[in-house]
Copies of this chain bind each other. A is one copy, B any other.
Amino acid sequence: MNHRLHDRAANSLPEACPGLRMTPQRQEVYRVLMGRRDHPTANEVHSRVKKRLPNISLATVYNCLETLVDHGLIRQVNFERESSRYCPNVNEHGHFHDAASGTIHDIEFKPGVNLADFLDLPPGAVIEDIEITLRGKLAAS
């Protein structure tokens, strides 16, 4: 069992974030994302958050998610035209979509990798954000 992960999941925000007022709703939305890192949709987040905040509205969940994204505490992930999903892993990383199970796995870059190593970037391009999505199957191991 990964205690490091578990401990983080049990807390609310890792540290204060400048300019972000920490309300019970935002705290709980964040807590829920940390508690189960399965890339839930806003709807799923709403269901989970309602366990503790039964009166929270879906609109508020959307607001909280947007705020947390804007402050860099979580990331919004899009697959095709499906509903957005949310992910508390703010490291640069990609996602692997297992078609069979519908699960999503974070994909880390191998250490020391540089985008320009494998992509033919336009000269002078300054990259601000990367989104890498793989779709496929996990062969039975």
Task: Give me the interface of A with B, judged by CB distance under 8 Å.
Answer: 76, 78, 80-81, 84, 94, 96, 99, 105, 107-110, 113, 115, 117-141
Contact = CB atoms under 8 A, between A and B. Distances in A.
- How many copies of the polypeptide does the oligomer hold? 2
B125 A119 contact: no
A125 B121 contact: no
B120 A118 contact: no
Given A117-B110, A137-B126, A80 B81 contact: no
A129 B118 contact: no
Q: Which of A80, A117, A119, A128 is packed against the most chain B CB atoms within 10 Å?
A: A119
Given A78-B80, A81-B84, A107 B121 contact: yes
